[in-house]
Amino acid sequence: MSTGDILRRRDNLLGSNTPLFYDEPLHIVRGEGVHLYDADGRQYLDVYNNVPNVGHCNPRVVQALSRQAETLNIHTRYLHEAILDYGEALTATFADPLSMVMFTCTGSEANDLALRIARHTRPGKGIICSNETYHGNTTAVDELATLFNGGQAIGPNVKAVPYPDAYRPLDGLQGEELTQAYLLRIDQAIAEFEAEGIGLAGMLVCPIFANEGVPNVPQGYLQGAADRVRAHGGLLIFDEVQSGFARSGTMWGHEFAGVQPDIVTLGKPMGNGHPVAGLVSTPELVDSFREDIMYFNTFGGNPVSCEVAHEVLRVIQDEGLVAQVADVGQYLRDGLRALQERYELIGDVRGPGLFVGVELVNDRASKTPATAAARRVVNEMKEKGVLISKIGPGDNILKIRPPIIFSRSNADQLLNTLDEVLANE
Amino acid sequence: MSTGDILRRRDNLLGSNTPLFYDEPLHIVRGEGVHLYDADGRQYLDVYNNVPNVGHCNPRVVQALSRQAETLNIHTRYLHEAILDYGEALTATFADPLSMVMFTCTGSEANDLALRIARHTRPGKGIICSNETYHGNTTAVDELATLFNGGQAIGPNVKAVPYPDAYRPLDGLQGEELTQAYLLRIDQAIAEFEAEGIGLAGMLVCPIFANEGVPNVPQGYLQGAADRVRAHGGLLIFDEVQSGFARSGTMWGHEFAGVQPDIVTLGKPMGNGHPVAGLVSTPELVDSFREDIMYFNTFGGNPVSCEVAHEVLRVIQDEGLVAQVADVGQYLRDGLRALQERYELIGDVRGPGLFVGVELVNDRASKTPATAAARRVVNEMKEKGVLISKIGPGDNILKIRPPIIFSRSNADQLLNTLDEVLANE
């Protein structure tokens, strides 16, 4: 079937504004490891997808899925050991007191549940988020989708603060002054919530600020934020849907950030594409929420989801992927910085582990976002068989975020292709 | 591992108030067709679970899952035919103009999205629900969880009206007077929303009022409700997470009810346990929502979910399960009514298709809910190898809701076991 026919059927069935990638969309039919294949059999190096983290169609994960699906798939109101075996293995990767887990099916559900826990257990309802973010699609979580709302949060119970960014610093400040300037905005948001009688429930951010374009976070910012939020009775919620499961070159993004949260939400790569998600938190918070609120999630924590997620975790551990991500990520950033020396278009190279941002600018002094160039580069890379994307308020930051099994040799292919494309810019 | 050990691990990992069935919980390890098996190898007839609708571990569905999982599992921002093939087959079972679909992973997400669509496309924000219901676990959908909140909706934007019930009728009325009395409550809720400046966005109910205990709905109620809601600019949203996919002896619960909604939400049995859900609506609503709002669901509509859900739909169609549900459901209600003639405890037998409610009362004149007896019956049935549950504001309605492949012979086993248990009451 032609792309045109597929697009027509898609418009009629799903709506013409259903999100789609590339000027000429890709028709993907098969995946294996770090590669995707289109309907014409053309191979693409996948440097975008952070869900199939241990590789497209990882055989160990597919086998775990099939084996449990043919044995039993049932909700959690009967006893089953799969949820306990996985949950214990998962929480063992967190420092105390983060020892309890609640399962959902999506990161949106996990963030929505985190908001419910914060607003139920804290005296206030106010949530602080960043001004260029997205955490999911439910009504409550959408109030934090400042990325699609001109930097503004929606409704009285959410306030956005400027995300921390050493490349485009607030008021042109540097060092400790910059950190304090960003922290002052948190103080102000808390004061406003209190003045309005809303009070504070917490702060929900990604510890690597993935959707903001993985900025270099000024030193001390996240610990300062944690201290301020907790001093006013709020919880620090880290959305690790993107930063977690080895992505950051550490098992968890909060290890990279060096700050311990009260709730960690999980999603995307947890089941390598199978819809499993959840949150990890403390006995104090989970028990006090569960004592008051009947929370049940029909598919959440079912034996199939738990066996799949457990196998993903085992692959990460057995194959030493945390160390591999740290190594390949550094190798990749070194290669990109070598390109930066040759191409004026590259203003900044940054990001933890294998979440790398390459900011394209029209000139390095004014740092004007090179939005059109970024679009061309992403589409040209696709034409040359490498899939990346772009992100950021100026839509000018190349988003380089492959499955975490990505190797140095895969990185070489990416670097060589990017070199070719930039040479034509 | 002993039940005691599992419970201790469960309390530590998930929280002691995590929902669990039965006075002595079941440790289920395997499922096949209409049967579940515990860790000691004991077989149970499953007359409770409405998720594994085409049978536990249905081999066709498991095969579809495995085949696609080893080929490709990816989000919907590339083109793929599985989502189109399934979506077109699904919407073909609805009457026009219900021709478009949006995919989510859970019924909670589907209901949350339906609320977003209604509140975005209608001038008002107010939602009407019933006073003994539950539609899911997100912050916004939880505002409708009157079942856990003493019959009250949460917050200013939701109002609960009494659910329609001919067995326990409002003010002891009957016939057309009863219908009008229930409809008056809708008029009042709309008038209150308008007086408060909130306005009306719509009404969200299950067309068979599953969580209310599948009451006999007074004639004309649902059409009257639809007319009133639409006359004030609101949408009629039917939550068919439980009533849909042949459960009601018709493909959709709204066919059983004889009323056409504006949005239908889908979930539980859609993937036979695989986390796939969504909503079906009109081009007018879906397009106008998508034009304004960037809605994306990472796992929603992925090829694995669509292949699984498509196979479930094919099984329903190939095996003639709509007709089978209608036949076995009637056979079961006839058998239960024969028991009703012998046991005073049975006050009412009702429900569409294979969602059957058996209301236990201490005496038929006062209709006092036989709550303690219902609890004993459910636990005794389990001891005799048959799994049912209970529901309703008085927790006294036996909930009989097997996988839809349930046969007359399965119904006989249920009836005989219930006979034995009631003889000891």
Hey, is the C-beta of B294 within 8 angstroms of any chain A C-beta? yes
Contact A88 B13 (CB under 8 A): yes
In whole angstroms, what separates CA B188 from the centre of its chain? 27
Q: Which amino acid is at A270?
A: M
Where a domain ends, among B283, B298, B318?
Answer: B318
pLDDT digits (tens, 9 = 90+) for A176-191: 999 999 999 999 999 9
For chain A, how many residues are written? 425
Asked if A191 and A244 sit in the same domain, the reply is: yes
Could you say which residues from 161 to 190 on chain B have a Cβ atom under 8 Å away from some Cβ of chain A?
none
> What pLDDT score was predicted for residue A230?
98
- Residues forming beta bridges with residue A407, ordered by sequence position: none
Q: How many CB pairs under 8 A join A and B?
A: 293
Q: Which of B7, B8, B17, B293 to mutate to test the interface with A (most CBs of A within 10 A)?
A: B17
B31–A273 C-beta distance less than 8 A: no
pTM value > 0.80: yes
As a whole number of Å, the end-to-end CA separation of chain A is: 34
Q: What is the pLDDT of residue A316?
A: 98
Residues of B with Cβ-Cβ distance to A26 under 8 angstroms: 78-79
Please, which residues 338-377 of chain B have a Cβ atom closer than 8 Å to chain A? none
Partners of B106 on chain A (C-beta within 8 Å) are 104-106, 109, 297-299
Determine the residue among B3, B8, B11, B13 to mutate to test chain A binding: the one whose Cβ has the most chain A Cβ atoms within 10 Å.
Answer: B13
Distance CA A402, CA B78 (A): 16
Instruction: Give the pLDDT of residue A31.
Output: 98
Beta strand extents in A208-336 (DSSP E only): 235-239, 263-266, 277-281
Q: Where are the alpha helices (DSSP H) in B232-370?
A: 253-257, 283-292, 303-318, 321-342
Are residues B50 and B70 located together in one domain of the fold?
Answer: no
Same structural domain, B261 and B367: no
Query: Which candidate from B12, B27, B72 shows the least CB-CB separation from A57?
Result: B72
Nearest CA in chain A to B71: A30
Q: 144-163 in A: which are within 8 Å (CB) of B?
A: 148
C-alpha span between B349 and B335 (Å, rounded):
10
Residue for token digits 């009775």? Answer: A233
Provide CB contacts within 8 A for B249, sequence distance 6+. B256, B322, B325, B326, B329, B330, B352, B353, B354
Q: How far is CA B242 from CA B128, B206, B272, B330, in A?
A: 19, 8, 12, 19
Q: In this complex, do A79 and B148 lie within 8 Å of one another by their Cβ atoms?
A: no
Share of chain A above pLDDT 70, in %: 100
Query: Do residues B350 and B216 lie in contact, with contact meaning Cβ atoms separated by under 8 Å?
Result: yes
For residue B72, the chain A residues in CB contact (below 8 A) are 28-31, 36, 56-57
Instruction: Using an 8 Å CB-CB cutoff, list chain B residues near A100.
Output: 12-15
Whether residues B109 and A109 touch (CB distance < 8 A) is answered with yes
Nearest CA in chain A to B293: A148
Residues A346 and A278 grouped into a single domain: no
Q: A340 with A312, same domain?
A: no
Residue of A nearest to B13 (CA): A100
pLDDT band at A323 (very low <50, low <70, confident <90, very high): very high
* Residue to test with chain B: of A29, A125, A144, A401, most B Cβ within 10 A: A29
Judgement on whether residues A409 and A302 belong to the same structural domain of the protein? no
B313 and B324 both lie in a single domain? no
Query: Which residue out of B73, B121, B125 would a mutagenesis test of the A interface target, given it has the greatest number of A Cβ atoms within 10 Å?
Result: B73
Write down the ipTM of this complex: 0.98
Asked whether the beta carbons of residue A36 and residue B294 sit closer than 8 angstroms, the reply is no
CB crowding B81-104: b at 16 or more within 10 Å, else e: bbbbebbeebbebbeeebbbbbbb
Per cent of chain A over pLDDT 90 is 98
Q: Which domain holds residue B277?
A: 60-318
Tens digits of per-residue pLDDT, B342-361? 999 999 999 999 999 999 99
Beta strand B28-32 pairing with B35-38: antiparallel
Contacts of B13 in chain A (CB under 8 A): 83-84, 87-88, 91, 99-101
Subunit contact B28:A74, Cβ cutoff 8 A = yes
Say if residue B37 is in the same domain as residue B123.
no
What distance in Å separates the CA atoms of residue A164 and residue A221, rounded to the nearest whole number? 8
Task: Give the mean model confidence (pLDDT) for residues A65-92.
Answer: 97
Residue at a domain's end among A318, A339, A368: A318
Q: What is the CATH number of the domain that holds B184?
A: 3.40.640.10
pLDDT digits (tens, 9 = 90+) for A368-396: 999 999 999 999 999 999 999 999 989 99
pLDDT of residue B112: 98
Q: Which two tokens stand for residue A151?
A: 């930097």
- Residues linked to residue B35 through DSSP beta bridges, in sequence order: B32, B45
Q: Do B79 and A112 touch (CB under 8 A)?
A: no
HSE, CB side, 13 Å, CA atoms: give it for residue A396.
18
* B45/B91 same-domain check: no
Same domain flag for B331 and B398? yes
Per-residue model confidence (pLDDT) at position B1:
82
Peptide bond into A275 cis (omega under 30): no
- Give the pLDDT band of residue A1 (cuts 50, 70, 90): confident
CB pair distance less than 8 Å for B56 and A73: yes
- One domain, residues B287 and B331: no
Residue of A nearest to B116 (CA): A139
Examine the domain organization and report whether B127 and B254 are in the same domain: yes
Provide the chain B residues 221-250 that lie in CB contact (below 8 A) with chain A: none
CATH code for position B42: 3.90.1150.10
How far apart, in whole angstroms, are the C-alpha atoms of residue A271 and residue B65?
14
| Closest CA of chain B from A350, distance in Å | 25
Mean pLDDT of A275-294: 97
The distance of A417 to chain B (nearest Cα, Å) reads: 21
The separation between the first and the last C-alpha atoms of chain B, rounded to the nearest angstrom, is: 34
Q: Which residues of chain B have pLDDT under 50?
A: none
Name residues 65-104 of chain A within 8 A of B (Cβ): 65-66, 69-81, 83-84, 87-88, 91, 99-102, 104
Structurally, chain A folds into a number of domains equal to: 2
The pLDDT, as a whole number, for residue A10 is 96
Can you read off the two tokens belonging to residue A161?
Answer: 């603060």
Q: How far is B151 from chain A (nearest CA, A)?
A: 15
Q: For position B69, what pLDDT does the model report?
A: 98
A103: distance to nearest CA of chain B, Å? 9
Model pLDDT, residue A58: 98
Average pLDDT estimate for A79-104: 98
Tell me the shortest Cα–Cα distance from B87 to chain A, in angstroms: 7
Query: Final residue of a domain: which of B318, B333, B365?
Result: B318
